[in-house]
Structure 1
Amino acid sequence: MLLGGINHIAIISKNAKRLGDFYREVFDAEVGPTRGHGPGETMTNVKVGPGTELNVFVIEGNSEAERQTPMWGRGRIDHIGFAAASPEDFETIRTRLIEAGAGDGKVNDFGAVFSTFFRDPDGLEGEVLLPKPTR
């Protein structure tokens, strides 16, 4: 493979602080400063893993963060799947998602992985995945 993973995912939010606080509290993410990115636009970097960030944009007059549609009707990128670092981290995240009212805690068995789904404060669906141990 020529790539080493995903560097960032750019998302539009109505409130970067609220979104950053959520990712910090649930995922121990590192939230950088908010800075201007263009006319009527700000960007906040939220580091969610080694070398991986959410680039959170707030854009005056843009209502995309308000648009909510069912799975597979959301456009080219439907949801974000995050990799838990360990089984213990998966359980910590799952518990925090329940406490934050962002997920129901259900664990799905998708064969090679376990997963749990959530919605962030802007309504963007996310999934946390944990590979099953190989024998």
Structure 2
Amino acid sequence: MPVTLGFNHVATCTADLDRLTQFYLEAFDGKVTFEMAATDDHPRMAIIDLGGGAALNVFEVAEDSIVGQRGTMGARGPIDHFGIAVDSRATLEGLRERMVAAGAEIGEIQRLGGEWSLFFRDPDGMELEVCAHSAPNDVVD
């Protein structure tokens, strides 16, 4: 049995903290739990609670300092993507509409193994995934 409880947070960088924060508040009902102004030795940042003990720690940095090509798998830097968990396919379907309204580039819901999966790109173009466990008798559309 693993000693860990799962992910606590994923840290990512953006050139526009306000825009990215607004997206996660609108699309996921996220909640900003901490904000920090930039200092001489630390960038401006926000922690966004996504529920279930998971959070995003987002740092605002100059766009030209962000490593990788966010639109290309394998070239996205140290974090290729991360998955956000939801409780059901119904929640995933409702969330898909919210993400479209909030400005995400969105894919289709698909079944990958024991998960329903929806890939999307946030306002910075970072590809992410939202997942819900599927039941063995769930039917693929």
Question: With structure 2 as the length reference, what TM-score do the two structures score?
Answer: 0.83
C-alpha distance in 1 between matches for 2:63 and 2:115: 40
Deviation at 1:10, TM superposition (A): 0.9
In the alignment, the residues of structure 2 paired with residue 60 and residue 33 of structure 1 have an alpha-carbon distance, to the nearest angstrom, of 21
Deviation per residue, 1:86-115 (Å, 9 max, x gap): 232211111112223413341122121111
Corresponding residue SS for 1:17: helix
Structure-1 separation of matches of 2:63 and 2:119: 29
Kept in 2: contact 1:105–1:116 (CA 8 A) = yes
Q: Distance in 2 between matches of 1:120 and 1:65?
A: 17
State the match for 2:9 in structure 1. Answer: 8
Q: Answer whether contact 1:14 1:58 (CA < 8 A) is retained.
A: yes
Q: 1:93 aligns with which of 87, 92, 95?
A: 95
* Identity across the alignment (%): 36
Aligned position for 2:113? 111
Answering whether residue 33 of structure 2 is matched by residue 32 of structure 1, we say: yes
1:55 aligns with 2:92: no
**Amino acid corresponding to residue 5 of structure 1 in structure 2:** G
Match of 2:19 in 1: 18
Number of matched residues? 135
Structure 2 unaligned segments of length 5 or more: list them.
none
State the distance in 2 between where 1:29 and 1:71 align: 26
Q: For residue 14 of structure 1, report the CA deviation from its aligned partner.
A: 0.9
- How far residue 7 of structure 1 moved from its aligned partner, in angstroms, is 0.9
In 2, the alpha carbon distance for the partners of 1:100 and 1:61 equals 22
CA RMSD of aligned residues (A): 2.2
The residue aligned with 1:70 is 72
Q: Residues 120, 23 of structure 1: CA spacing in aligned structure 2 closer, same or farther, 3 A cutoff? A: same
Task: Give the TM-score of the pair, scaled to structure 1.
Answer: 0.86
| Structure 1 unmatched runs, 5+ | none
Residues 30 and 47, structure 1, Cα contact 8 Å, conserved in 2: yes
Query: What amino acid maps onto 2:99 in structure 1?
Result: L
3-state SS, counterpart of residue 26 of structure 1: helix
Conserved? CA contact 2:89–2:116, under 8 Å: no
